[in-house]
Amino acid sequence: MLRRCRSLIAVALLATMPAAFAGELTVAVAANFARPVEVMAPVFTAATGHQLRISTGSTGKFYAQIQRGAPFDVFLSADEARPALLETEGRIVPGSRFVYSVGRLALWHATPGRTLTPDTLRADIAGRVAIANPKIAPYGAAAAAAIAHLGLTDALGPRLVHGENIAQTFQFVATGNAAFGFVAWSQVSENGAVVRGSAWLVPPDMHPPIRQSAVLLRHGADNPAAVAFMTFLKSDAARQIIRQHGYDVE
């Protein structure tokens, strides 16, 4: 209750900021979280007057770009590892790192009405299976772990097709270039129900937890809009949007 009150107070204070102080920030967003941020953007602007510029891509590529000095203010990663590395490297505002969401993994087929289980992958031996590149995409690493847990690494190896990020992985299945794909649960569900195609929600004990961290980068340290967005991301309004899009919050 105390945290809820503090969150509401923080958003209320942001909403009282004079329009003259409204600014802009650029946020690098892991591809899996693109839709929630798009929904958050007008809510954040209504509360603060600040405008949000969104850049989406793979966590690994964003990490490399930030190392080279890319002018992002906030980084919403799909994992904890890269933000932790950026903190070690002195590229973020100290103390700004926190877990903003916990992602879920799903096995997906573009056709509605199908019942998917692990046996689906064993039975459909002719179809390709899409996963995000495990080397740069946390959801890809989670998918590889789930496949190993199911004992299907060798069987699926020749059939795997790798997307650069989870958005491209989704497109491989949506366009028929892969029969199935391990995608983010948030890409195919709303309020806990499947709304696109057919999906099996992978049990969380089959892969490492997909704990996604946010950081305020050095580039955004003196940007009031960036600081305000980090505060907003912890608010009840933001957390409700996060839950609606298939994520857990801590």
Residue 249: inside a domain, yes or no? Answer: no
Count of domains in the chain?
2
CB-based contact 192:201 (threshold 8 Å): no
* Cα–Cα distance measured from residue 237 to residue 141, given in angstroms and rounded to the nearest whole number: 30
Do 110 and 231 belong to one domain? no
Q: What is the DSSP string of 178-200?
A: SSEEEEEHHHHEETTEE-SSEEE
The H or E element containing residue 109 is strand 105-109
CB-based contact 167:72 (threshold 8 Å): no
Could you list the mean pLDDT of each consecutive 10-residue stretch along the chain, which spans 250 residues? 50 47 92 94 97 94 96 97 97 98 96 92 82 92 97 94 94 96 94 93 95 98 98 97 93
Instruction: Give me the CATH number covering residue 134.
Output: 3.40.190.10
* Cα–Cα distance measured from residue 181 to residue 110, given in angstroms and rounded to the nearest whole number: 9
Do 37 and 118 belong to one domain? no
**pLDDT of the residue at 15:** 47
**pLDDT of the residue at 6:** 53
**pLDDT of the residue at 190:** 86
Residue 250: inside a domain, yes or no? Answer: no
Do 222 and 146 belong to one domain? no
Do 29 and 65 belong to one domain? yes
Do 16 and 33 belong to one domain? yes
**pLDDT of the residue at 73:** 98
Do 233 and 182 belong to one domain? no
**pLDDT of the residue at 82:** 96
**pLDDT of the residue at 123:** 81
Do 112 and 95 belong to one domain? no
Do 87 and 124 belong to one domain? no
The whole domain housing 137 covers 105-201
**pLDDT of the residue at 228:** 97
